[in-house]
Chain A
Amino acid sequence: MIAGIDIGGTHTDAVLVDNGRIVAKSKIPTLHEDLVKTVQRSLTNLTEKKKAGGVTRITLSTTLATNALVEGALETAGVLVCSGPGIDPLKYSIGPAFHLVGGSVDHRGRETEPVDTRELDRAASECREKGVRVFACVAKFSPRNPAHELLLSRRLAPHADFITEGHRLSGMPGFGRRIATAYYNAAVWRLFNRFADAASSTAAALGIGPDIHILKADGGTMPLSESRILPVLSILSGPAASIMGIQALFPVNRDAVCIDIGGTTSDIFFLADGVPLFERGGIALDGRNTLVPSLFSKSIGVGGDSHVRMESGRVTVGPRRLGPAMATGDKAPTLTDALNVSGRAAYGDVSRSQGGIGLLAKQHGADPGRLADEAVSFAANAVAREVERLVAAINERPVYTVRELLHERRLVPERLLLMGGPADCLAKPLGAALGIEAGIPEHFDVANAIGAALTKPTRCIELFADTAIGIMSVPALGVRKAVPAGYTESDAERDAARLLLDRLKTQGVGLGGVEVETTYKSTFSMVEGFSTVGRNIRIRCQVKPGLLYDLVENKKE
């Protein structure tokens, strides 16, 4: 049996899956001050009648790190940065202990200026005086050559409890993103580890095996051991839980748009040939872009609790939220009230909805039924226009080869998948506004927990080889070694896959069903004068994301 627990903003959902069947569900309010207790209660609810010992794997989707970041409840992390020429590095200043240290490495990983160790020591002692114990060390182009980050890290080590080196987060480019990501990682490290300790002892007390996973925003999981050093990868995993859940509950293999309709907002996702689309670069948090890989998801301020009002003679819905529907005792009419009045839903006290919409209609000399219909179609159209805008933006994503540009694959959603409270009653209007047939999966009330339970572990790495310099490196794994001049793209592809699998093995991830795929490869001949001096090889490979298995009650469309 495997368990999935999605700790959400309001509710914590949990499911227990046995041989592809959902055997238990739980929904309880999230106790923000005590997430461990929330996990504990969910687990107890799930395993009431069964032996908890039968649970072999738990996956948690937790808001712990996200909340800490958004609420600013962070430990002071010292940030030491080597920049070199480019955009003014002070623009990336983050946290109360941000220090620039001289030193620079260029785009090929060549040192162009050594680290200024006097500046480094000064920064380190200032941090020490402030009592800083966790650090982020970040250098521009560190994935090409991590030497400067390693030097910073070595000097700080005697006085540090934890250090994040930028190149270990990702091999992807983005200096500003790397700084923010490393800072966040260091600043939530202690908090997250306390949670991880408590979660493992809770599981142990219930007799559940050690296989605890944390859901990531990229639609994969990581073992608890890895989340202890990369806690930042746990942020904003909620949308990933939804999209993995919807894939489990309603598998499609075509292009699709998925909409999770909530109270205040609705989240929009896309599937290309049934595979979730990724965010370019990485997720944004608290106004800063990061290198945290993520599935593509966008929020729009239209949901069941969105306020229905008249603005210059026209019905408008959202984006302000005024509270729950009048049907459940609130003062202003919402989209849910409009759905009630238009006869599409019968949620709570329908007569109160009629009162509220009726009053609004009277004030503006309109017919209540028509006003409700207009509100529903306004909301559906707002969501549909946003979907269309997003599809256009996705199809405008740049490519860098003539071949890709001339034979581009465009995203054309042919299926609409809906989940969330008002999904049932919005299916028709939304389907009509988008001109696509809508489908609603069963069990969508706990889709997030199902997604968490069934998600596979993933990991993505980048390999760079520069045969002119004679170096191959996989920054995220800390691998850097000499290669001969004859090192080729297929050598690199093979090495990357092997290193990735080795890493999973040492982390104790079961390799059954694990498939490594190359998602990007390129080789450039490097020419100096008129002769070729080497090859510049770039490989990105990943454990193919997906579900551990399909739910038995579903058949593929």
Chain B
Amino acid sequence: MTTATISEVVPPVPAPATAPQPGELTKDTYKGKIHPDWCPGCGDFSVLSALQTALFELGLKPHQVAVISGIGCSSNLPGFINTYGMHTLHGRGIAVGTGLKLANHDLKVICTGGDGDGYGIGGNHFLHIMRRNVDLTYIVMDNQIYGLTTGQVSPTSVKGMKTKTTPHGSVENPINPIPLAMVGGATYIARAFSGKQKHMVEIIKGAIQHKGFSLVDVFSPCVTYNKDNTYQWFNPRVKILEEQGHDPTDFHKAMDKGYMWGDEIPIGLFWKRTDLPTLEDLEPVLHEGGPLAYRKLGIPEDQAKALIAELM
């Protein structure tokens, strides 16, 4: 064969720093094979780290977790974490994630992506996953810019923002994901900030533990292409809802908080409800027999007879 094998082309991937015994979880367990290739200082490092910590603290085994993304800088995350992963198409992470979750509801499914990915090209899937209340967690690294394609306006770019495709400033209103998710029917709606990693860990843990669709919109600054919404810009503005005694079961207060922007921008858990069943709960097909993906194929004799009888 004329094709090169992997070992001839690159040095073998170094083994993780500590090689844990089977069954033993450490924080390093969740480290991926590849070191992230994000720009130094990119907010996405903090999200990755928070997610790894959350998985570790929740004691989730890597093979029981699937991290699924779309396309974008942020969407490269599944390559950097040691769980099952998929790096799908631009905007399609949550659609693929829904299929995967329904096919194997024993898995913890975490979708990750960017603002363009989730609120732009994938917007339709976003609307519908919320009303379905699929039990998965969606972490959007919202840098208010298209990072991977080198700095174009995004659906969350603020009005007036100058980008490569809005050289005179954007004239369009941005999407506000928090109120959008509230009217869309999401059952866990939170925001985090890459500059507050500890807080983010708690928010992500809450999201993963929540039964139903959880959205974590993260201010994850793009240090290369968004010179407006920087760490320095966010730092004095973000206010942690948990420290303000916000009641996440109060819909109207949550809406009010969601609309706040400017000198004070709330982060934390805006809204949570636990009274709604998930899609999986409502699907009798999943009630017995374990994950669909692992079930035996083929039609039992009596059912086959009944199907044929319908045609007679």
Q: Is the pairing of A and B real? A: no
Chain A contacts to B: CB under 8 angstroms = none
